[in-house]
């Protein structure tokens, strides 16, 4: 009887440990990426003003995409709080950002410190047809838009430090 009880405790402990491991593994391995909203564009040395020219292209993992999404949500949330409290530009149309309305173009690098840095350019989904009419394929080439209001915003993310910086929303023309 003692043997059966010990075996049962050992088996329960083993099963619990394995199921936790499986859950942790499946959470890490199977973060679903909505490829209709993300495009990764290669870093080119001509874009050295974004990153140090010694930066190297980075292949993003599923977990990197998850971290990108979380940092974007934090940045947009902080921006929306700022906009709601801003009284400097009274009378100018303010627009809260809703991340679900945007496509995301990413340029991902490893910097000279070995940190993962991402430049994210967000584009209103409604603006995509006009880009294609202009000969711009947002999925394959980096482009920059002057003006356009809150239909365009960009931010730098550091996945290694978990911080974002230079959050910029375009102005009106």
Identify the pLDDT of residue 25: 36
Spatial separation of the C-alpha atoms in residues 90 and 72, rounded to whole Å:
27
Confidence label for 10 from pLDDT (cuts 50, 70 and 90): very low
pLDDT higher than threshold 90 for residue 84: no
pLDDT higher than threshold 70 for residue 13: no
Q: Structural domain boundaries of the chain? A: 1-30, 31-169
Could you read off the pLDDT of 30-44 as tens digits, one per residue?
567 788 899 999 988
Burial of 21 (0-12, 13-18, 19+ CB in 10 A): exposed
**Residues with Cβ within 8 Å of residue 101, at least 6 apart in sequence:** 124, 125, 126
**Tokens 């009419």 -> residue:** 133
Identify the pLDDT of residue 24: 32
Could you read off the pLDDT of 88-122 as tens digits, one per residue?
656 555 678 999 999 999 999 999 999 999 999 99
CB 119 within 8 A of CB 100: no
User: What is the percent of the chain where pLDDT is above 70?
Assistant: 76
Spatial separation of the C-alpha atoms in residues 136 and 131, rounded to whole Å:
5
CB 102 within 8 A of CB 117: no
């Amino acid at each position: 009887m003692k043997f059966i009880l010990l075996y049962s405790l050992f088996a329960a402990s083993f099963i619990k440990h394995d199921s936790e491991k499986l859950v942790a593994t499946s959470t890490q391995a199977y973060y679903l990426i909505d490829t209709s909203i993300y495009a990764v564009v290669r870093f080119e040395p001509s874009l050295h003003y974004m990153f140090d020219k010694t930066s190297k292209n980075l292949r993003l993992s599923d977990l990197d995409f998850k971290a990108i999404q979380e940092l974007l949500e934090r940045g947009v949330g902080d921006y929306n709080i700022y906009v709601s409290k801003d009284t400097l530009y009274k009378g100018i149309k303010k627009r809260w950002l809703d991340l679900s309305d945007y496509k995301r173009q990413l340029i991902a690098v490893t910097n000279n410190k070995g940190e993962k840095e991402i430049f994210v350019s967000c584009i209103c989904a409604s603006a995509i047809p006009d880009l294609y009419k202009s000969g711009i394929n947002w999925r394959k080439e980096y482009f920059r838009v002057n003006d356009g209001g809150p239909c365009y915003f960009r931010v730098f993310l550091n996945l290694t430090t978990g911080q974002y910086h230079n959050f910029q929303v375009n102005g009106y023309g």
